[in-house]
Amino acid sequence: MKKLKINPRPALIVSLPVPIDALEQLQQIAKARELGLHSLLKLYIGEGLRNDLPLVKKQRQLY
């Protein structure tokens, strides 16, 4: 497993509605992984960005 690089960066607070059942599932996952809910959400966002950004960059090169 790769070691996480923690670099403090400027941030904005975002508010969004999350279905109650999805939030409950996220809380269960966070607890099982011994993480706070915010940490789990940041982890998921970071993983999604790492997966999707190369695809976006590749698409830009095609045009």
SS3 27: helix
Average pLDDT for the chain: 90
pLDDT band at 61 (very low <50, low <70, confident <90, very high): confident
pLDDT in tens, 37-57: 999 999 999 999 999 988 888
Reported as a pLDDT band with limits 50, 70 and 90, residue 13 is very high
The pTM score is 0.74
Q: Is the pLDDT of residue 62 over 70?
A: no
CA–CA distance from 31 to each of 36, 49, 55, 61, 62 (Å)?
7, 23, 32, 41, 42
